Chain A
Amino acid sequence: MAPQQQTMFRSADMSMVQLYISNEIGRECVNALGELGLVQFRDLNSEVSAFQRTFTQEIRRLDNVERQLRYFYTQMEKSNIPLRRLDLDAETIAPPTTTEIDELSERSQSLEQRIFQLNDSYETLKKREVELTEWRWVLREAGGFFDRAHGNVEEIRASTEDDDAPLLQDVEHNNQAADVERSFSGMNIGFVAGVINRDRVAAFERILWRTLRGNLYMNQSEIPEPLVDPATNESINKNVFVIFAHGKEILAKIRKISESMGAEIYSVDENTDLRRDQMHEVNARLNDVQNVLQNTQQTLEAELTQIAQSLAAWMILITKEKAAYQTLNLFSFDRQRRTLIAEAWCPTNDLPRIRTTLQDVTNRAGLSVPSIINEIRTNKTPPTYLKTNKFTEAFQTIINAYGTATYQEINPALPAIVTFPFLFAVMFGDLGHALIMLLASLAMIYWEKPLKKVSFELFAMIYYGRYIALVMAIFSVFTGLIYNDVFSKSMTLFDSQWEWDVPEGWKQGQPLTAKLKGDYRYPFGIDWMWHGSDNDLLFSNSYKMKMSIILGWVHMTYSLCLAYLNARHFKKPIDIWGNFVPGMIFFQSIFGYLVICIVYKWSVDWLAIEKQPPSLLNMLIYMFLQPGTIDQELYKGQSTVQVILLLLAVIQVPILLFLKPFYLRWEHNRARAKGYRGIGEHSRVSALDEDDGDGHIEGNGRPSVDTDDGEGVAMIAHGGDDDEEHEEFEFSEELIHQVIHTIEFCLNCVSHTASYLRLWALSLAHQQLSVVLWDMTLAGALTKGGVVGVIMIVAMFYLWFFLSCAVLICMEGCSAMLHSLRLQWVEAQSKYAEFAGHMFTPFSFLTMLEEDEGLAEFRG
């Protein structure tokens, strides 16, 4: 069977393959497949916990390297070093070799140590620096205290009249330090000097006062500049304090209290000279420390700058390597642990590519043992793989946002490429707005590359949908022309089919009614004579309402037909006869008939045949309420036709209800009677498996080995309850399911048709809004003359243009898009799409790197 060309119509044919890869080249193979990105591996060790898997050691090691790299990154952020980001589009990084990874891990190990050391010494130095600065402040401030204290001492001493004091010194009065010292020690007064956090000063003071019962003399002053706390890198305001007290014990107590309050105590000499020396020393040391600090900082920055050049690349290498090992962890071994065995889903069409890729890796490694890739048969549901390109990607995303199509089901995104933007355009029809939108989307497509880098989320979203916007804008141009609306004004592209019927003696102010110019009709769109007329809305409402019904009917009929194609593809004739045909007859006999009536009524010249045109809405209502009676006849024999159609529709309901469940029961019983046990026929979702329909299944539901199949290989995969297909046939369940389906279908025929009236409502709203906007802004300005007129026109133009863009294009466009999305998701897709698939998520480095949140700061 030659594989068919892959198209967007259905999801790609998938094959379950088994890979036998020699243990030595397992890593290389996984890397190559990761670059290819077409293989989704199954977990063959699901019962093994993450810690017990084969390559946990390697992953741990890589985790460590990743942690180190992240550590570098935080260091870089700390010192504001820019990181050279990696542009994934421009640069590709070949999968690393083992030695490269080893080197990288060693290198990052040593780098981490080095940076750690540098950081460590930097912090120590910083701490030293802060200490020295504090000390300097203490020395400087304490000087002042001592000078003041000195005066006190003189007083104190004078009052105590110490007899031992030499008389001469009393006379000298020269403030000598020796003198003070002697005087302090003589009086047995000691002091404690230090620095304390400014917030704690009050508490500190209070505690000291209470514990020492006031036996102290405390001096303090604020340090004007904030100091840096080396531990937290925050700046703190601190105060210098000097406490004088009497007695050793009290001083010891003060020290203890200060320490417990987090104050730093520094030794200060009483002697002014010594203090000066201390000051010099401290200054010198501070200088040294600052020099060293600067050097350390520079070295650290140089080191980090160098790392910044290649950090992103390293990060990506490590991420890739980790992903490869995580994938390898999904594999199982043969008994001798020499061959890796993997099971994977891959697109059937791409099998040759995968095969050659593996071959290449084996050849490059120079191994004599070939890597084997084997297609195996399975009754597991294959994943849905919908290949997209730049253009279809956004459309597919819209559909996938609703659900994942069942494997091989018709891809709803294919018709959505046109129907979604077209229904949008029906609501958005205004040539002017459409052209602005067209220009915007064309600009986004023209500057595709540079704009891709914009990370502003709202814009990124619009940018992602640029092709949708393009198609929407193109259709809006068309519908704008049809509606003959340009910013709420009309264009006189062709001759009107109307002319004013001017009676004799007509004066300005009297209403005029138009008459037709023979059998000429306005060729394209709505006649511009309607624009601005008094009964414009009367005409356009009737027109747009009918158009909504017709478009809705076409859309839903088309979607129903896709259900037929689906049923035929999955070879389920009962879905055709039990669902599609009765459903179609039901729908057409009511709404198809309505549409035919609408078109027929339009095509009849009611004035010429001098008959009263019937109201179609009443006709439809009375078709149900009083079948057989007609108010005003649309055509001959109408009542008979309507009764027949109604009967036809009513008969479809029991057919819809019962045909499918009873048929399924009959089929099931027949199979049972023939001796088949277990279920294999209906639960097969894949149509591919139909050709070996006799694939038997063991009683416990495990897929058995298909021995008579040439390709049949014993599956290592244990039953895996996760995606087991088989369910016992239950008639009641089937019946309930069908009852729900029938009720839903019949009610939906009505409600969905009504739902399409949103096309009318939104297009009317859009048109009326733009009329109002014009009248409120520019229309007023255009009637003014002179300078005022000029200024007003300019100002009003900006107002009008801005509001047009913001309200009519952005907001209205957004709402029209949401409504169109709903019509696509609910009204159309509910007719044919099942959405019971699971997405194909291949192991691909590219998508992995693009989607990894942790790598966001490393990507360009």
Chain B
Amino acid sequence: MAKGYSIFIGLVIVAAFCLAAWFLSPKGENQTTWRSSLIIAFISCYLMWFITFLAQLHPLIAPRRGDIKEGYQFE
């Protein structure tokens, strides 16, 4: 479901959101505020997701724990 190329899918989705924010922002005095805020927000959120996803894409370490109970090891 989610593979390496998901990063680009996410990018496309966020770009679409940004475009939508640009064109659908309510007209008037506050249009700039709407546009800037929404686009920065989308980009920030994408960035955060992107960093998190990439950090787990090719992990160098794997989770390890010693307190697993019998019967839960296949969860």
Chain A interface (Cβ < 8 Å from any Cβ of B): 5-9, 387, 389, 392, 414-415, 417-419, 422, 426, 475, 478-479, 482, 494, 497-500, 502, 506-516, 519-527, 529-530, 532-536, 538-539, 542-543, 546-547, 550-551, 554, 599, 602-608, 613
Partner of B58, one of A418, A514, A527, A603: A603
Give A763 Cβ to nearest chain B Cβ, in Å.
11
Known: A7-B33, A521-B6, A603-B54. 15 other contacts (CB 8 A): A7-B32, A418-B44, A422-B41, A502-B73, A511-B66, A513-B63, A514-B62, A515-B62, A525-B52, A535-B61, A535-B63, A543-B51, A543-B55, A606-B58, A607-B58
Q: Is the CB of A603 within 8 A of B60?
A: no
Known: A389-B30, A506-B73. A547 touches B48 (CB 8 A): yes
Q: Is the CB of B56 within 8 A of A511?
A: no
Q: Is the CB of A392 within 8 A of B33?
A: yes
Fill in one digit per residue for B18-39: 1 if any A CB lies within 8 Å of its CB, else 0: 0000000000011111001100
Give A420 Cβ to nearest chain B Cβ, in Å.
11
Nearest B residue to A539 via CB reads B61
Interchain CA distance A523-B2 in the complex, whole Å: 5
Known: A7-B31, A7-B32, A605-B58. A478 touches B48 (CB 8 A): yes
Which residues of chain A are within 8 angstroms of B68 by Cβ–Cβ distance?
500, 508, 512
Interchain CA distance A550-B54 in the complex, whole Å: 12
Interchain CA distance A494-B53 in the complex, whole Å: 14
Some 23 contacts from A to B, beta carbons below 8 A apart, are A8-B36, A392-B33, A414-B37, A417-B36, A422-B41, A500-B74, A508-B69, A512-B73, A513-B64, A514-B62, A514-B63, A521-B2, A524-B49, A532-B67, A533-B63, A533-B65, A534-B66, A535-B64, A539-B63, A543-B51, A543-B55, A547-B55, A606-B58
Which residues of chain A are within 8 angstroms of B59 by Cβ–Cβ distance?
516, 539
Give A617 Cβ to nearest chain B Cβ, in Å.
15
Q: Is the CB of B51 within 8 A of A534?
A: no
Interchain CA distance A520-B45 in the complex, whole Å: 22
Q: Is the CB of B44 within 8 A of A419?
A: yes
Nearest B residue to A524 via CB reads B49
Give A837 Cβ to nearest chain B Cβ, in Å.
19
Q: Is the CB of A521 within 8 A of B53?
A: yes
Which residues of chain A are within 8 angstroms of B53 by Cβ–Cβ distance?
521-523
Which residues of chain A are within 8 angstroms of B47 by Cβ–Cβ distance?
550-551, 554
Q: Is the CB of B40 within 8 A of A418?
A: yes
Q: Is the CB of B29 within 8 A of A546?
A: no
Known: A7-B33, A522-B56. A426 touches B40 (CB 8 A): no
Q: Is the CB of A8 within 8 A of B3?
A: no
Q: Is the CB of B51 within 8 A of A511?
A: no
Nearest B residue to A10 via CB reads B32
Interchain CA distance A554-B41 in the complex, whole Å: 13
Known: A8-B30, A499-B74. A426 touches B58 (CB 8 A): no
Interchain CA distance A492-B59 in the complex, whole Å: 19
Nearest 3 pairs of A and B residues by beta carbon: A523-B2, A7-B32, A533-B63
Give A241 Cβ to nearest chain B Cβ, in Å.
82
Partner of A534, one of B1, B49, B60, B64: B64
Which residues of chain B are within 8 angstroms of A539 by Cβ–Cβ distance?
59, 61, 63
Known: A414-B36, A535-B61, A538-B61. A527 touches B56 (CB 8 A): yes
- Count A-B contacts at CB 8 Å: 157
Known: A520-B1, A603-B58. A546 touches B51 (CB 8 A): yes
Interchain CA distance A671-B75 in the complex, whole Å: 79
Partner of B4, one of A502, A519, A536, A550: A519
Give B57 Cβ to nearest chain A Cβ, in Å.
6
Nearest A residue to B66 via CB reads A511
Q: Is the CB of B57 within 8 A of A602?
A: yes
Q: Is the CB of B69 within 8 A of A520?
A: no
Q: Is the CB of A478 within 8 A of B45?
A: yes
Q: Is the CB of A613 within 8 A of B60?
A: yes
Q: Is the CB of A536 within 8 A of B54?
A: no
Which residues of chain B are within 8 angstroms of A530 by Cβ–Cβ distance?
63
Q: Is the CB of A418 within 8 A of B63?
A: no
Give A549 Cβ to nearest chain B Cβ, in Å.
10
Q: Is the CB of A414 within 8 A of B44?
A: no
Known: A414-B33, A603-B54. A514 touches B48 (CB 8 A): no
Q: Is the CB of B32 within 8 A of A602?
A: no
Which residues of chain B are within 8 angstroms of A547 by Cβ–Cβ distance?
48, 51-52, 55
Nearest B residue to A555 via CB reads B44
Q: Is the CB of B74 within 8 A of A502?
A: yes
Which residues of chain B are within 8 angstroms of A607 by Cβ–Cβ distance?
58, 60
Q: Is the CB of A521 within 8 A of B32?
A: no
Which residues of chain A are within 8 angstroms of B41 by Cβ–Cβ distance?
418, 422, 475
Interchain CA distance A603-B37 in the complex, whole Å: 30
Which residues of chain A are within 8 angstroms of B52 by Cβ–Cβ distance?
482, 525-526, 543, 547
Q: Is the CB of A546 within 8 A of B55?
A: yes
Q: Is the CB of A7 within 8 A of B64?
A: no
Q: Is the CB of B44 within 8 A of A500?
A: no
Interchain CA distance A606-B74 in the complex, whole Å: 27
Q: Is the CB of A523 within 8 A of B36?
A: no
Give A342 Cβ to nearest chain B Cβ, in Å.
28
Nearest B residue to A542 via CB reads B55
Nearest A residue to B2 via CB reads A523
Q: Is the CB of B37 within 8 A of A418?
A: yes
Give A261 Cβ to nearest chain B Cβ, in Å.
77
Known: A417-B37, A513-B64, A606-B60. A519 touches B45 (CB 8 A): no
Give A474 Cβ to nearest chain B Cβ, in Å.
9
Which residues of chain B are within 8 angstroms of A532 by Cβ–Cβ distance?
65, 67
Give B68 Cβ to nearest chain A Cβ, in Å.
5
Give A74 Cβ to nearest chain B Cβ, in Å.
46
Give A45 Cβ to nearest chain B Cβ, in Å.
36
Q: Is the CB of A417 within 8 A of B63?
A: no
Q: Is the CB of A602 within 8 A of B58?
A: yes
Interchain CA distance A533-B29 in the complex, whole Å: 51
Q: Is the CB of A521 within 8 A of B33?
A: no
Interchain CA distance A224-B30 in the complex, whole Å: 74
Give B13 Cβ to nearest chain A Cβ, in Å.
12
Q: Is the CB of B44 within 8 A of A513?
A: no
Q: Is the CB of A550 within 8 A of B51?
A: yes
Which residues of chain B are within 8 angstroms of A7 by Cβ–Cβ distance?
29-33
Partner of A523, one of B6, B32, B58, B62: B6
Interchain CA distance A551-B46 in the complex, whole Å: 11
Interchain CA distance A774-B70 in the complex, whole Å: 24
Q: Is the CB of A9 within 8 A of B64?
A: no
Partner of A602, one of B55, B64, B66, B70: B55
- Residue of A417, A494, A546, A554 with most chain B CB atoms under a 10 A cut-off: A417
